[in-house]
Amino acid sequence: MKKIRIGMIGCGGMGQGHIKKIKELPEAQLAAVSDADPETARKIGTENNVPYFADYRKLIKSGLCDAVLIVTPHYFHHEIGIAAFKSGLHVLSEKPITVTVAAADAFLAAAKKSRKVFGVMFQQRTFPHVRLAREIIKSGRIGKIQRTLAVEPHYRSQAYYDSSTWRGTWLGEGGGVLINQSPHGIDLFMLLGGLPSRVIAKTRTKIHKIEVEDEVTALLEYPNGAWGYYYTSTCEDPASPLFMEIVGDSGKIVLTENDVKLFTFKPSISKHNATAKTMWGGPEIKEEKLKLPKTESGHKEIIRNFCAAIMGREKLLAPGAEGLWSIEFINALILSGKKEKPVNIPVNRKEYEKLLDGLKKKSKIKKVKKVERTTDPRHDK
Ligand SMILES: NC(=O)c1ccc[n+]([C@@H]2O[C@H](COP(=O)([O-])OP(=O)(O)OC[C@H]3O[C@@H](n4cnc5c(N)ncnc54)[C@H](O)[C@@H]3O)[C@@H](O)[C@H]2O)c1
């Protein structure tokens, strides 16, 4: 089998995790590595017996790779991705595809121009219950969406934020829990519930010594008039897995960590409301029996699917262009939180750039005692 030669750019915690997965895949081959820290580049290149570069541009120009997997801090994703597209390489970007909607637009335009494959590491899209929920919504079984809810508290200690210079700063990552821990849940929320057209959010830094937000709550309005609610933080332990409800006129989906439930209403709420002759009661509610598909899931499945898409065998499960959806939502919530006013989606590109420029000007390069590059044990299986 032809192998897609992948250049790994960014060999920290997650990059090292992805290297293990590439090596397990018959479709992929680790061709070269790059890390801005020369010692990390040397160590990881030597350990894996592949050429290594401190400057990602040299890896891109080396002719050794068909594709790059970008696993640097978020600000570099679009800069590196655009350079790779210009050199005719396929790109798989870690989430988030970048930090601002304007940068995402530029990333998407470069991908389109290059006609190369552009994927994003939204591995939660591969989970069986998520695949099934997508199918149910696509089939129209829950009808027109009436209400949404997504609640996803995470936990990170101060030691996590103090483990690297970029974490928890406007200069280093351009946001807090929204841009770092929550993009997966937000992606699924946008995928299943669609993009709201207007949000009003509250953001704050509650328990950590960081510049960026560690708690967010928001009310949402959708183009069809439906309302929704969103909550996230890095302040809650035990952290709860993403809990989501998508309520339609004729059914409701409830998504928990590894499961999806479907309740159907007969007749639909709108029909029952218009036709019921008695004072009490509602439509007949039925919990449908569902069977989760047997599928591979996780980071490895996204890398495999990306290689298969390059070979022309499969459609992408997580196209890079759809990475814009979560950036719209994240930027809208941060902007609304800062302005203390409602914000429309699509987000005003110039207004968001201006806000972030101001926040970056006040942001300080962080000094840390020792930079950690360790993989989150939950991803190291
Ligand atoms: N999909 C997931 O489940 C998941 C999980 C964790 C992290 N991530 C994402 O992966 C990215 C990296 O996170 P991490 O935890 O591995 O961080 P990390 O700090 O452990 O590693 C980042 C690495 O990138 C290197 N780097 C910085 N700038 C670079 C550049 N310009 N060129 C080459 N290398 C550069 C750093 O030296 C470091 O080794 C983030 O965007 C994060 O959101 C995704």
pLDDT tens digits, 329-356: 999 999 999 999 999 999 999 999 999 9
Q: What is the pTM of this model?
A: 0.96
| Residue 7 Cα to ligand 1 middle (Å) | 14
For ligand 1, say whether the CB of 71 is within 6 Å of any of its atoms. Answer: yes
* Confidence check: pLDDT of 3 > 80: yes
Contact 159, 136 (CB under 8 A): no
Mean pLDDT (the chain, rounded): 96
* pLDDT number for residue 375: 78
| Residue 80 Cα to ligand 1 middle (Å) | 13
Instruction: Note the pLDDT tens digit of each residue in 42-82.
Output: 999 999 999 999 999 999 999 999 999 999 999 999 999 99
Which residue puts its alpha carbon closest to atom 1 of ligand 1? 121
* Confidence check: pLDDT of 380 > 70: no
| Residue 13 Cα to ligand 1 middle (Å) | 7
Q: How far is CA 247 from CA 24, 25, 183, 193, 231, in A?
A: 40, 39, 22, 9, 17
> Structural domains in the chain?
4-123+297-319 (3.40.50.720), 125-293+326-362 (3.30.360.10)
* pLDDT number for residue 84: 98
Q: Give the ligand 1 atom nearest the CA of 167.
A: 19
Q: Give the ligand 1 atom nearest the CA of 180.
A: 43
Instruction: Note the pLDDT tens digit of each residue in 76-102.
Output: 999 999 999 999 999 999 999 999 999
| Residue type, position 250, single letter | S
* Confidence check: pLDDT of 1 > 70: no
| Residue 259 Cα to ligand 1 middle (Å) | 30
pLDDT tier for residue 377 given thresholds of 50, 70 and 90: confident
Instruction: Give the whole-number percent of the chain exceeding pLDDT 70.
Output: 99
Mean pLDDT of 302-319: 98
Of 283, 202, 218, 289, nearest to 247 by C-alpha is 283
* pLDDT number for residue 374: 81
Q: Give the ligand 1 atom nearest the CA of 34.
A: 33
* pLDDT number for residue 381: 53
For 90-124, letters b (16+ CB in 10 Å) and e give bbbbbbbbbbbbbbbbbbbebbeebebbbbbbbbb
* pLDDT number for residue 373: 82
What tokens does 286 get? 């039925």
Q: Residue 121 and residue 374: Cα distance in Å, rounded?
A: 18
Q: Give the ligand 1 atom nearest the CA of 372.
A: 20
